[in-house]
């Protein structure tokens, strides 16, 4: 059965008029129809996140931690289904998804739920002036979170968890090649009671909607994991918006060796 994926905006599933095809890498068969989102969907998602930020940023650390732990609970309840979907969508062994990646996704939420309840601020006393200096940390605003294809749910939750734990809201853009578990996460967020607009997930081509998201004036933070070329495009696109905070985790550091019989073997595999 082909899975029909929809965008998740303001806690509502929103279909698009055009769709992309995503295939099971193990057999080449159609697995999902993925939204081919455009500027309209991006703008609606960012607006939803901006509105949600007004109240979510004022939510207590304790309440945020409770919701993050409930998200982790729901992920753990659905480990088998998520692991199967991740393996089918991404192509990795089921044992890796079951024993490492999906449990780590749950742990990401538990880690940051604990972190915000044990956060400490530092102060400096100036005795001769009878005063002291201190710093406070406040939520920044709406973040764009762009995750890669190789660790789909693991790295998406590694971005979402600290974002919402700190009181920020977000618009997420998973890889168009591995969108299935991100879509399944939407139901989990609803079951956990996350308020509307705190997490929005927009699916589609990075080349089509990536620039719309990262250059949107409401976006204060960008977290991107992916290729070095794309990271440089993001850096250049936002260079005229100097107050955006960028976190770029880029590839290109791992060498590969191609042997002479590579193309011959590929032909045998295809045949």
Which pLDDT tens digit goes with each residue over 173-187?
999 999 999 999 999
Q: Cα separation of 69 and 168, whole Å?
A: 17
Residue 264 reports pLDDT greater than 90: no
pTM of the model: 0.90
Compute the average pLDDT of residues 94-104. Answer: 96
The answer to whether the CB of 210 falls within 8 A of the CB of 234 is yes
Q: Is the pLDDT of residue 85 over 80?
A: yes
Instruction: Identify whether the C-beta of residue 215 lies closer than 8 Å to the C-beta of residue 237.
Output: yes
Query: CA-CA distance, 123 to 158, in Å (whole number)?
Result: 30
Q: What is the mean pLDDT of the chain?
A: 94
Partner residues linked to 124 by β-bridges: 133
Tally of CB atoms within 10 A around 45? 29
Mean pLDDT of 146-162: 96
Give 196-248 pLDDT, tens digit per residue: 999 999 999 998 999 999 999 999 999 999 999 999 999 999 998 878 999 99
The β-bridge relationship of strands 30-35 and 123-126 is: unpaired
Which is more confident, 119 or 61?
61
pLDDT of residue 111 exceeding 70: yes
């Amino acid at each position: 059965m082909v899975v029909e994926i929809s965008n998740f905006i303001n806690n509502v599933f929103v279909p698009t008029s055009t769709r992309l095809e995503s295939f099971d890498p193990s057999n080449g068969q159609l697995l999902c129809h993925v939204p081919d989102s455009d500027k309209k969907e991006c703008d609606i998602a960012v607006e939803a996140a901006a509105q949600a930020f007004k109240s979510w940023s004022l939510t207590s650390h304790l309440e945020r931690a409770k919701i993050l732990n409930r998200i982790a609970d729901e992920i753990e309840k659905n480990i088998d289904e998520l692991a199967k979907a991740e393996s089918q969508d991404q192509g990795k062994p089921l044992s890796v998804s079951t024993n490492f990646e999906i449990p780590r996704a749950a742990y990401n939420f538990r880690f940051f739920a604990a972190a915000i309840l044990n956060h400490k601020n530092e102060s400096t006393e100036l005795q001769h002036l009878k005063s002291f200096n201190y710093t406070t940390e406040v939520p920044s605003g709406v973040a764009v979170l762009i995750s890669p294809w190789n660790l789909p749910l693991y790295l998406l939750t590694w971005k979402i968890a600290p974002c919402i734990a700190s009181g920020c809201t977000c618009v997420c853009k998973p890889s168009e090649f591995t969108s299935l578990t991100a879509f399944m996460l939407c139901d989990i967020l609803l079951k956990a009671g996350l308020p509307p607009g705190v997490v929005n997930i927009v699916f589609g081509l990075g080349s089509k909607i990536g620039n719309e998201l990262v250059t949107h004036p409401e976006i204060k933070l960008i977290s991107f994991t992916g290729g070095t070329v794309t990271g440089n495009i993001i850096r250049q696109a936002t260079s005229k918006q100097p107050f955006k905070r960028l976190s770029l985790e880029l590839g290109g550091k791992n060498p590969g060796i191609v042997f002479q019989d590579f193309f011959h073997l590929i032909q045998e595999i295809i045949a």
